[in-house]
Amino acid sequence: MGNSDTGKKILVMHGPNLNTLGTREPEIYGSKTLDEINDDLKKQGKKLGIDVETFQSNHEGDIVDKIQASVGNIDAFIINPAAYTHTSIAIRDAVLLLEVPVIEIHLSNIYKREPFRHKSMVADVATGQIAGFGVSGYRMALDAAVDLMAS
Ligand code: DQA
């Protein structure tokens, strides 16, 4: 449990290459850096009395390890699995260990892009998905997580 008024904690996880946001294909992913996105989420969490932890890795096993370590310790989970969205059964299986609301988020609308991005391994084990709203999607995801934790 973190230092928050509600005692609730949300983990926001970012997959591979999202550490390069700001310079990576800005026409698709926007110009905000991951640090800026994370700072905004932490500020939003603070206002709501919720502890927001952020985590980014380029490594599938590290992502699986972190999800496993979060079982029983978080109240909601927000994940942009990035390219692993389309390939990782290991991340999907790890998500299934969580017994809390799970929100999948993508900056871009993956269904408007290349056919290999249309399939998400996580979509049917998530509570819901947000895609195509750029960085605003993270704020939406946090709002949705807060509502889901309350219900
Ligand atoms: C992404 C979409 C993925 O297809 C891609 O591999 C990413 C980012 C998004 O946020 O739009 O790295 O998850």
Pocket of ligand 1 (CB under 6 A): 17, 80, 82-83, 85, 106-108, 110, 117
- Which H helix or E strand runs over 139? helix 136-150
**Catalytic residue check, 111:** no
Burial class (CB within 10 angstroms; exposed 0-12, middle 13-18, buried 19+) of 19: middle
pLDDT value, residue 69 = 98
Domains for the chain: give ranges and CATH numbers: 8-150 (3.40.50.9100)
Report how far residue 43's alpha carbon sits from residue 111's, in angstroms, rounded to the nearest whole number: 30
pLDDT digits (tens, 9 = 90+) for 11-60: 999 999 999 999 888 888 888 999 999 999 999 999 999 999 999 999 99
**Catalytic residue check, 29:** yes
Q: Phi and psi (nearest 5°) for 144? A: -65, -40
Please name the residue whose Cα sits nearest to atom 8 of ligand 1.
Answer: 82
Would you call 94 helix, strand, or coil by DSSP?
helix
Per-residue pLDDT band for 4 (boundaries 50, 70, 90) equals low
pLDDT higher than threshold 70 for residue 83 = yes
DSSP string of 16-73, one letter each residue: TTGGGTTTSSHHHH-S--HHHHHHHHHHHHHHHTEEEEEEE-S-HHHHHHHHHHHTTT
